Amino acid sequence: MPAIRPRTAWVTGVLASAVAASLLTSLPANAVVGEKAKDGTYAFTAKLDIGGGQRSCSAALVEEEWLITAANCFADNPGQGAKVAAGAPKLKTTATIGRTDLTRDGGTVANVVELVPRDDRDLVMARLDKRVTGVAPVGIGFNASLPGEDLWVSGYGRTKDEWVPDRLHYAKYTVGAVKDTSLSLTGKSNDASVCQGDTGGPAFREIGGRYELVGVHSMSGQGGCFGSDEADTNKDASDARVDDIAGWIQTVSSRNLLSRANWKNAAHMASGYFTGNSAGGKRRMDLFVVWKDGSASLYQGADHNDPKYPFSAEYKVAAAGSYWKDARAVTGGSFTDSGSDGITVRWANGKLSTYTHVDQNGFHDEKEHAYSDTWKRARLITAGRYTANNLRDDLLVLWDDGSTSMYSDTDTNGVRKESQLTKADKSWTEAAQITSGEFTGKKTADLVIRWNDGNTSLFPGVDTAGYHDRIRIRPDGSAWKNAQILTVGSFTAAANRPNDILIRWADGNVSYYPGVDASGTHSEVQLVG
């Protein structure tokens, strides 16, 4: 159902055969007759121009560099199969994203430079030659649609009275039969119809103000579309399903996610469940990064299990030059009883504060705990489960004189109940990084310390009484002396125990070690470099 603009006799022939064809057999899905979208509405819907006007399709932005659309749009013989070769498209393809009214400026215009087809359905991923900013990608639904569920559909195809419309249209549909790779849709209103030009457009649900992709337009009856037979009243459509391949979509769209950044410029990293958990609890931990220019990124943990791609999206949550340039120590942890992690920061001016919630939209509910010269001496901080409180993490601090303290009742009201774990110790001033995790199965969390000489030690089961044992997982002089930033999290799988250690190296490479335990680190997974 590649929407083909009828500017040639060949296109007219396709349209004529489409009118006579039966639904879901040989008719490729093609435009949404419905309401005109207001500016900025469903901005993730993209318009595709294939071959300089030879074909026209719709698509959906699923990541800043990736669209998802119908494979039929790029097939040699649209309507006679959706097989497409991987690689660059045969015809030059231009995508317009974030421009509800095509006659206006704004949004992003980019070229499609790579196709990654899905062989078992009419579906293809399309990589752009530039990142799309200012438009929130549509989420990927992992929950199967159910018969009777209402969905929204959108597209740039023809309407009942427009051959080449300049504005995005949308309509509400109801799900009918749900098959292994497809689902059928019926319009909720009399004028709802998927027409030529809508091929590859999204069908999506709305959940609390966010949108979740359910299907991609593949075939339709086109009843009521401009140019169709007046006697043709078939307005049903068929979409390719995405819920059962949501992990594959994330894997493809996150391939070059981390490599886009210069990781030598990462100043701080913190892990946690910031963006919430996914359906079924499959999502891995998120990663918060503060860059040297004061900007900040939130990398959302992926829902699939491919160890090479632990994150599925990047959200810019602070711009260059922001107040984050004054952060001196950062840690992620659970500081409320909400189940969502936050971020605690020691600032250059001696302020210690916590953001109780962090998500794609930024930082929320900052609570100031302390503001004094004393906290300027807090060189390294980490949050972990060091007491019996399983709902909130505790804060462990390494001071500039080599002493360490634990604050075991840290919450939104402040840091309280200080326990001094060690007195001033010159040797501890050689500690370069500290981070907390679950490695040994003790009742409380373990502390990881990376020293300047590369020695890296694991202190199992730290509590208010101090450190009870020490396990060296990297010897003196090891390559870990080049590890600039360490953070611990579940990057291999959700709630992975033992935890993984993620490292940003001095040369800008990024890797992690899955399942660290008392026997040390095991295989390394290279993410960047």
Cα(423)–Cα(32) distance, integer angstroms? 70
How high is the pLDDT of residue 166? 78
Cα(188)–Cα(416) distance, integer angstroms? 58
How high is the pLDDT of residue 72? 92
Start-to-end Cα distance in the chain: 41
Q: Where in the sequence of the chain do the CATH 2.120.10 domains occur?
A: 266-528
52, 42, 309, 361: CA torsion to nearest 10? 140
How high is the pLDDT of residue 37? 63
How high is the pLDDT of residue 192? 73
How high is the pLDDT of residue 26? 32
pTM of the predicted model, to two decimals?
0.86
* Second-level CATH architecture of 266-528: 6 Propeller (2.120)
What's the DSSP call for residue 37?
A: P
What's the DSSP call for residue 497?
A: S
For Cα atoms 48, 51, 56, give the angle at the middle one, nearest 5 degrees: 35
Cα(417)–Cα(189) distance, integer angstroms? 63
344 exposure class (CB count in 10 Å sphere: 0-12, 13-18, 19+): buried
CB 138 within 8 A of CB 44: yes
41 exposure class (CB count in 10 Å sphere: 0-12, 13-18, 19+): middle
148 exposure class (CB count in 10 Å sphere: 0-12, 13-18, 19+): exposed
> Quick one: which H or E segment has residue 16?
helix 9-20
What's the DSSP call for residue 444?
A: S
CATH top-level class for 9-245? mainly beta
CB 170 within 8 A of CB 197: no
Cα(487)–Cα(503) distance, integer angstroms? 7
How high is the pLDDT of residue 435? 97
CB 94 within 8 A of CB 101: no
Strands (E), 223-285: 237-241, 266-272
Pairing of strands 193-195, 150-155: unpaired
CB 291 within 8 A of CB 267: yes
Largest pairwise CA distance in the chain = 88
Kindly report the backbone phi and psi dihedral angles of residue 160, in degrees, each rounded to the nearest multiple of 5, phi listed first. Answer: -75, -20
For Cα atoms 74, 77, 78, give the angle at the middle one, nearest 5 degrees: 60
How high is the pLDDT of residue 14? 26
What the block records as the tokens of 385 is 């489960």
Q: Where in the sequence of the chain do the CATH 2.40.10.120 domains occur?
A: 9-245
Cα(382)–Cα(399) distance, integer angstroms? 12
10: three-class secondary structure by DSSP: helix
Is the peptide bond between 498 and the residue preceding it cis, with omega within 30 degrees of 0? yes
CB 197 within 8 A of CB 58: yes
Is the peptide bond between 475 and the residue preceding it cis, with omega within 30 degrees of 0? no
Residue-wise pLDDT tens for the chain (529 aa)? 333 332 222 222 222 223 222 222 333 433 455 566 676 789 999 999 999 989 899 999 999 999 999 999 999 887 666 789 999 999 999 999 999 888 888 899 999 999 999 999 999 999 999 999 899 999 998 999 999 999 999 999 866 666 567 789 888 999 999 999 999 998 887 677 778 888 999 999 999 888 999 999 988 766 667 666 654 666 788 999 999 999 999 999 999 999 999 999 999 999 999 987 554 456 899 999 999 999 999 999 998 888 999 999 999 999 999 999 999 999 999 888 777 899 999 999 999 999 998 998 899 999 998 888 999 999 999 999 998 766 789 999 999 999 999 998 655 556 767 899 999 999 999 999 999 999 999 999 999 999 999 999 999 999 999 999 999 999 999 999 999 999 999 998 877 779 999 999 999 999 999 999 888 888 999 999 9
CB 490 within 8 A of CB 502: no
